[in-house]
Amino acid sequence: MSNLNFIDRMSLGLGEKLSYVFLISVIITCYEVVMRYVFNAPTTWVHDGATALSATGFLMAGCYCLQARRHIAITVIYDAVPQKVRNVLALTNALLIVVFLGLLTWAAMKVAMPAVAWQAWDCRVQFCGLETSAHAWDVPIPAYLKSVLFLASVAMLVQSLIQFWQALVTFAGKGTP
């Protein structure tokens, strides 16, 4: 892992650390089941909490998968063509990923900004005017998740730009595939 750049190390480290949110989500869901069916005392917070934890894990896992190149890939054609064609396919793939993540980042920003209401914070109301879930617990999970979506898409966009650069260097013949 020593030959990785800062962004690669950050993606791997964040993915490994955030994998524990799934364990926490399972533990609190088990807690809810016991409280509901054994003690007849359901909670108001477990569903929202488990959803937020799992969504955070899934969103941030994209950075890890992108860095480790463990995303879904159909390699039947890729493996059957010569190395020069592979380089073209890798460059095209990297470019498409950058375009997609650029658009996703822009869309996530447009959704996250109103949810966190940067312009109209009013701390006289609960949670300073952040978008809330409107469930019994009524915490600002939508604002949190929309912000995490934006941050995850930014991180994946930066990771994809690095991979695009690596594919471009390989395509130009100055690097190894």
pLDDT score of 176: 63
In a domain, 83, yes or no: yes
Domain membership flag for residue 176: no
DSSP string, 17-77: HHTHHHHHHHHHHHHHHHHHHTSS---SSHHHHHHHHHHHHHHHHHHHHHHHT-S----HH
> Is 177 part of any domain?
no
Q: How confident is the model at residue 122, as a pLDDT?
A: 57
Q: List, for residues 93-151, the tens digit of each pLDDT value.
A: 999 999 999 999 999 999 988 887 765 555 555 556 677 777 777 788 888 999 999 99
Asked, for residue 47, whether it belongs to a domain, the answer is yes
Q: How far apart are CA 55 and CA 87, in angstroms?
A: 34
Please state, as a whole number, how many other Cβ atoms lie within 10 Å of the Cβ of residue 37: 10
Q: Does residue 135 lie within any of the structural domains?
A: yes
Range 156-161 contact pairs with CB under 8 angstroms and sequence separation of 24 or more = 156/62, 156/63, 156/66, 156/101, 156/104, 157/98, 157/101, 157/102, 157/104, 157/105, 158/7, 159/7, 159/8, 159/11, 159/63, 159/66, 159/67, 160/66, 160/94, 160/97, 160/98, 160/101, 161/98
On whether residue 1 sits in a domain, the answer given is no
Among the listed residues 123, 142, 144, 125, the one whose alpha carbon sits nearest the alpha carbon of residue 134: 142
| 146, part of any domain | yes
Q: For residue 149, what pLDDT is reported?
A: 95
As for how many domains the chain has, the answer is 1
- Domain span holding position 26: 6-171
Position 31 in a domain:
yes
pLDDT 10s digits, 12-55: 888 888 889 999 999 999 999 999 999 999 998 998 899 999 99
DSSP 127-167: GGG-----SSS--SHHHHHHHHHHHHHHHHHHHHHHHHHHH
Average pLDDT over residues 44-72: 88
pTM of the model: 0.84
